[in-house]
A and B are shown apart, each in its own frame.
Chain A
Amino acid sequence: MVTLFGKRIRLFRPRTIWIRRIVQWFFFLLIASIAINHTLVENDMGIPLLGSASLHAVCPFGGVETLYTFATGGLLVKKIHDSSLVLAAIVLLLSILFGPVFCGWVCPLGTVQEWTGKLGRKLFKRRYNHFVPVKIDNILRYMRYGILVWVLYVTAKSGMLVFEAYDPYFALFNFWSTDVAWSALAILGITLTLSVFVERPWCKYACPYGAVLGVTNLFRVFSIKRAESTCKADGACSIMCPMNIEVDTKTVVRDHQCISCLECTSEAICPVAKTVVFTSGGVK
């Protein structure tokens, strides 16, 4: 840590939150092994100690999809189990406290999009993640709420997991199975292709669960806050933000798209110590 022109600047700082990558890898491998083992169990070849849960059983969005049928008749939508409701409750609590950390740290589909995004970053350098004109981008970002309403409506009406046929997350971990609809595989393919140009396109524009969790950004307990007094206004935080949030123009990030990845903070890209922080209190 050195002081330059009256500002404390860290000389050797990590450019990324490496522990987030480890947590992402952990959950990716966990979900992948559960999905693979489910297929093995169905073929009488399950790996001992690994549960035989289906992918739906370990997806918290199932808990949201089934809320209507559960509240009105005590029934769970077909293929959804109690574990989805448990996970939905845990993730909601986490989000109220820390924002959509599920999206930024846990969701394997987000992780895979980040991995493909690395290729885009290499190819397009600074142009990466800035291809979509801002006006169109701003409108498209509300599309996920429309998708959420549609999913909840069709699920409530049919009592079936209609979204499964379009769900790239289900396709990602079941592409080898005949249970996956071509539409879901196509959406997964489009998502991965687009993520070479745009960071996390599914999360930004289409994810109905991201839409639910995104709302917690408006009132979460811990938020990203920027101390104006020490900020160098170099814009590094905004450039680094995968969700294109202009952190350098805000004192508190309340954007509905923040995924609490902490990549904008002084622990990662921001060169000035204690300037962009993740806190429940205030900053100067």
Chain B
Amino acid sequence: MTLTAKPLALIILVFLLGGIAFSSAMGWWQTESTKIPVTFSEGEFAGQANPVDIRGSYTFGDIANSFNVTPEILAQAFGITETEPASFAIKELETIYLDSGFEIGTASVRLFVAYYTGLPFDTTGQEIYMPRSATDILLAKGNLTAEQIAYLEKYTVDIGLNTESVIVSTSVPVQTSSEISEEYIVKGKTTFGELITWGVSQAVIEALINAPLPDSATTVKDYASANGLDFETLKPALQAEVDKARP
């Protein structure tokens, strides 16, 4: 069979455009990331989302859709003070931390999510830096292995909300040291989630309220009044634990 130019041109167009149309119909034509990471295919975690596949285009909200970590925790970990942390795209971290001299970006978020959720993550040969605020949250969760703690200790850098270079390069409002310490004061609107991220362990909180840890979004005051506890007694006890955790 001999082909001339015109039929060949037609074949090329039909193959390419028809192929695209066919793959669209089959649902294979994806030109954008689905914002859903691939899952582990085998082992104990089979079927669960794999943090390795988190991409720079994901927002904190996208991560929260696939992993058991809230946008608020992610925002706190990486020093983001946007009013809607769910819409913060993690590729912006690199710009925000550019002046810090350390590469804190998508890889840091992957590691944070893996350690926070207890999912496997291979750090072999990788230097993934973590801001102190993120490490504090991970340590407070108390589910890390000795090896993971050692890795964090090696690559945690003391930059974050109170680092001038970071604040200057972002829209994050400058906070004075007194404002920062204000953050760690137990008040009526303080939630149990905040206590955890400030370094108070779940066991300590449970001992103080003599009950299992309530939902992380519940405020201490609401919980106290709903359960017949005296907030004014509970507050100083909790504050003492916060001060111990954040000397």
Contact = CB atoms under 8 A, between A and B. Distances in A.
A278 B56 CA distance: 47
A86 B19 contact: yes
A278 B11 CA distance: 14
Interface residues of B, number: 28
B3 A81 contact: no
B222 interface: no
Contact of B31 (A22, A53, A106, A268): A53
Contact of A281 (B2, B13, B41): B2
Contact of A262 (B1, B5, B32, B55): B5
Given A86-B20, A94-B12, A98-B11, A267 B29 contact: no
B23 interface: yes
A123 interface: no
B2 A278 contact: yes
A237 interface: no
B4 interface: yes
A19 to B, nearest CB: 5
B4 A278 contact: yes
B49 to A, nearest CB: 12
B3 A279 contact: yes
A281 B31 CA distance: 39
Contacts of B6: 19
A82 B30 contact: yes
B151 interface: no
A57 B16 contact: no
A54 interface: yes
Nearest to A60: B16
A20 B4 CA distance: 11
Interface string B20-55: 100100001111110000100100000000001101
Nearest to B27: A82
A101 B8 contact: yes
A54 B31 CA distance: 7
A75 interface: yes
Interface string A50-91: 011110011000000000000001110010011100110111
A90 B23 CA distance: 10
Contacts of A222: 1, 3
B15 A90 contact: yes
A277 interface: yes
B8 A53 contact: no
Interface string A82-115: 1100110111011000100100011000000000
Report which residue of B1, B5, B41, B55 has the largest number of chain A beta carbons within 10 angstroms of its beta carbon: B5
Contacts of A58: 31
A111 to B, nearest CB: 14
A22 B28 CA distance: 29
A23 to B, nearest CB: 5
A51 B31 contact: yes
A262 B5 CA distance: 7
A17 interface: yes
B188 to A, nearest CB: 41
10 smallest beta-carbon distances between A and B, as pairs: A53-B31, A57-B31, A82-B30, A90-B19, A279-B2, A86-B23, A17-B5, A83-B31, A19-B9, A280-B1
20 contacts: A19-B5, A20-B5, A22-B9, A23-B13, A51-B31, A52-B31, A52-B32, A57-B31, A73-B38, A75-B52, A83-B29, A83-B30, A89-B19, A98-B12, A105-B9, A278-B8, A279-B1, A279-B2, A280-B1, A281-B1
Given A75-B53, A279-B1, 13 more contacts: A51-B31, A52-B32, A54-B31, A74-B38, A75-B38, A81-B30, A86-B20, A86-B23, A94-B11, A94-B12, A94-B16, A101-B8, A278-B8
